[in-house]
Structure 1
């Protein structure tokens, strides 16, 4: 694997493409960004895996009409990527309207196809 391509520039680009895939509910793109063993910890402390996350997008349980970035930090530490992004989200979840500002921390690892998300956590923050 060419480790030179795993720097803050390529991680920043991956985060941007991931956010675009969220907005578009682009399941194939989301699938490519998520490590097979990824776990996401939600605001209530519950944990979901890749299959559950993709099912929410595939089944249109989660539909985002806005993914507005408020802030972003990107780091690469010993070959592991970390992004912290505050996003303003608008959409629906299970038919209920949602509007929230969320802080996300994502841990990214190198793969043969580029950066992939190994772990993520989201917490609500004041807008």
Structure 2
């Protein structure tokens, strides 16, 4: 593994670019950030794979007007990247308006294209964080 290419600085940059792609609903960029075998666990406990996630983005099922980061932690442990971000999200999910704060944990792994997300989990943030 190229330690200079897969360090906390490049992981921090990948997280920033990932959040920007979410805000822009940039389907091509999001696709490039996701490992083919990625799994997402949502706030309701359901799990989806990459195909389901990409289909939802293509259909515009989640449209974000705001992705405001309130806090971020970045770690690289034995070549595996971990980001934890507290995000305030405003937009629409289907026909419903959303205005909520979620705590996300993403597990990133090195790939020839750079860091990619292998697993992610979003949970409602405790009221003390809002």
TM value normalised by structure 2: 0.95
- Per-residue deviation, 1:44: 1.2
User: Which residue number corresponds to residue 85 of structure 2?
Assistant: 85
Q: Is 2:6 the counterpart of 1:20?
A: no
Structure 2: gaps spanning 5 or more residues? none
Whole-Å Cα distance in 1 between the matches of residues 109 and 92 of structure 2? Answer: 30
User: Which residue number corresponds to residue 107 of structure 1?
Assistant: 107
Whole-Å Cα distance in 2 between the matches of residues 65 and 100 of structure 1? Answer: 12
**What is the aligned-residue RMSD (CA, Å)?**
0.8
User: Which residue number corresponds to residue 58 of structure 1?
Assistant: 58
Whole-Å Cα distance in 2 between the matches of residues 110 and 71 of structure 1? Answer: 24
Structure 1 stretches of 4+ with a deviation exceeding 3 A read none
- Per-residue deviation, 1:73: 0.1
Whole-Å Cα distance in 1 between the matches of residues 68 and 91 of structure 2? Answer: 12
Structure 1: gaps spanning 5 or more residues? none
Whole-Å Cα distance in 2 between the matches of residues 3 and 70 of structure 1? Answer: 28
Q: Is 2:29 the counterpart of 1:29?
A: yes
TM value normalised by structure 1: 0.97
